[in-house]
Chain A
Amino acid sequence: DGGITQSPKYLFRKEGQNVTLSCEQNLNHDAMYWYRQDPGQGLRLIYYSQIVNDFQKGDIAEGYSVSREKKESFPLTVTSAQKNPTAFYLCASSPPGASNQPQHFGDGTRLSIL
């Protein structure tokens, strides 16, 4: 089935450690997005990418990094510079011509600090 796969579902990070969250899609979508959700809050945009080898910062990019080497993949690295990384992370994608197109979401990764 076509969809967006995020892994792992749960991730624990030690202080000072970088961790990478995986997001893969087989929908042939051009645009991909990373959002962060804190308890009781809506989603906030971290980074987005409209095409391969190009990405832009969203509203809360500090302490995060991304790459877009393949159309199918948009991994997110939570660096040690992110002081409050505990959150639920959601990846999304949208069809070609990203504007005016619905976004579809993966099932998310819950990140916690040990």
Chain B
Amino acid sequence: GIQVEQSPPDLILQEGANSTLRCNFSDSVNNLQWFHQNPWGQLINLFYIPSGTKQNGRLSATTVATERYSLLYISSSQTTDSGVYFCAVERGTSYGKLTFGQGTILTVHP
């Protein structure tokens, strides 16, 4: 099956810092999503981004499908950004089945 690797596994920041999270995948995809899982376990949909660049406030994401990676940028981080960030992909033949990476644990200190 498709492999999804996220880096770094852990990231500790001071409030106000910027960060970049990376997601590499081993096969072509027709769906890529970034999620934020808060400390209560809720999985929040950040971006649906199979290709191109999107921005939403302090967050932006870029997927380069031909090179099989996606980046999530967090600018001016806040303590509420803490949690786990997951990348999930759907392979072209998998019809709706998402494969998740292991996640990046982000901790933002005040």
Contacts and interface: CB of A to CB of B under 8 A. Distances in A.
Interface in B9-33: 30-31, 33
Given A99-B31, A100-B31, A102-B48, A107 B96 contact: no
B75 interface: no
- Interface size of A as a range: 20 to 34
Contact of B96 (A31, A41, A44): A31
A58 interface: yes
B33 A102 contact: yes
Q: Which of A43, A58, A94 has the most CB of B within 10 A?
A: A43
Contact of A48 (B41, B43, B96): B96
Nearest to B32: A102
B: contact size bracket: 20 to 34
Given A43-B86, A99-B95, A102-B48, A107 B100 contact: no
A31 to B, nearest CB: 5
Contacts of A107: 40-42
A78 to B, nearest CB: 18
B90 A99 contact: yes
A25 interface: no
Contacts, number: 68
Interface in B22-62: 30-31, 33, 35, 40-43, 45, 48, 50
A85 B38 CA distance: 22
B8 to A, nearest CB: 15
26 contacts: A31-B96, A33-B96, A33-B98, A41-B103, A42-B86, A42-B88, A42-B103, A43-B88, A43-B100, A45-B97, A45-B99, A48-B96, A50-B96, A59-B1, A90-B43, A94-B96, A99-B95, A100-B30, A100-B90, A101-B48, A102-B48, A104-B45, A105-B35, A105-B43, A108-B41, A110-B41
